[in-house]
Structure 1
Amino acid sequence: MPRYARRSARVILVDSSDRMLLIRSALLSEGGHAWFTPGGGVKWWEPLRMAAARELWEEAGLRVRGRQLRAVAFTTGRADLGFANGLFRDDFYLLRVDSHEVDVSGLTEFERGHYGGFRWWSADELATTEETVFPYRLAELLADVVAGRVPSPPRELPWHH
């Protein structure tokens, strides 16, 4: 298994209106902002699902158990975020909910410094937006999830265009 400079666990949170929650955050190396799924770095001792559940609680105020999350996608690639440089891997877990009132009071100090809001997106909105959204091809994954085609095993999404 490759040695990663950073592992992250992220959640594709989809509500009963088939919209996905994304968080707007400042890009560290390039300036500007982009939209990301809730999630973040995995602590050395954490199982990936547990890290995804913790991040969902911190960033969206939704408490779940790791076993409720289903692995659906991953990305790998090289990046320099300033605090980590090298090969990265992000693992994405699906959670469907009826609805959820987002609560960002659990953001860490670092996250608060980069936070730019949140929004629920449909697959069509994601497919046609001019905004930067990570990972790439997220609209296709959401469309598949909405249609009941949940990837198994997890699908690799492109790290870049």
Structure 2
Amino acid sequence: MSSLGPDWVRCADGVLYRSAARVLLFDDEDRLLLARGHDADDPGRSWWFTIGGGIDPGESPREAAVREVDEETGMRLDPAGLVGPVLRRRARFDFFAETVRQDEDFFLARADGETTLSRAGWTAIERDFMDELRWWPLGELSATAAEVFPHGLPTLAARLARGWDGTLIHLADDNDDQRPAPPGGERRHGPSNG
């Protein structure tokens, strides 16, 4: 287990790896919920990203997505109400002075009624790097100069806000041309692109 939590495992190449579930969560005004975080080693740099996090042992991506939304926002979603996964991404990024790799399944969901947000369920790590939650109007998201992940999210969000056509979208991070196998050689969950 790493200091980042039990969902991160160190691969043979020394890089931490995990599988994650994320949610493109829209409200009834088609605003997308994003979190803003910052790099602890470079507090002046911040970025916006979707709600979600690591898949715990024995948990399905759908279950993880629902749990993460609850922990990060206080909103409770019905697992049956999640659509997808609609998108899969491989990412490599720096996180708490570590280079990490993550395979992500993204689900689509709609917030029913009340959209009051709470930080009460944030973990210690989330409190250290997450700064705020915000419902973004899609036009404003498309026009922002802020860093937003995954790359191309404003275009994807506008497309998916109209509904999902059933086609799984695959994104590969520009910095990651090879997905690692976790220790033991088995992937708990990952993209099915060959």
Q: Give the alignment's TM-score, normalised by structure 2.
A: 0.72
- Counterpart of 1:127? 142
In the TM superposition, 1:9-158 aligns within 5 A as: 9-27=21-39, 31=43, 32-70=45-83, 71-82=85-96, 85-99=99-113, 100-148=115-163, 150-158=164-172
- Read off the aligned partner of 2:106 and give its amino acid letter: F
- Structure 1 position 84, deviation (Å): 6.0
- Read off the aligned partner of 1:38 and give its amino acid letter: I
CA RMSD of aligned residues (A): 2.3
- Measured in 1, the distance between the counterparts of 2:142 and 2:31 equals 13
Distance change (3 Å), C-alpha of 1:129 and 1:7: same
- Structure 1 position 103, deviation (Å): 1.2
- Structure 1 position 158, deviation (Å): 4.7
Q: Which runs of 5+ in 1 are unaligned?
A: none
Aligned residues: 158
Choose 1 or 2 for highest CA Rg: 2
- For residues 81-130 of structure 1, the C-alpha deviation after alignment (integer angstroms, 9 at most, x for no partner) is 24764542111111112441111111111111112111111222121111
- Read off the aligned partner of 1:34 and give its amino acid letter: W
- Measured in 2, the distance between the counterparts of 1:114 and 1:62 equals 20
Distance change (3 Å), C-alpha of 1:23 and 1:86: closer
Q: Give the alignment's TM-score, normalised by structure 1.
A: 0.86
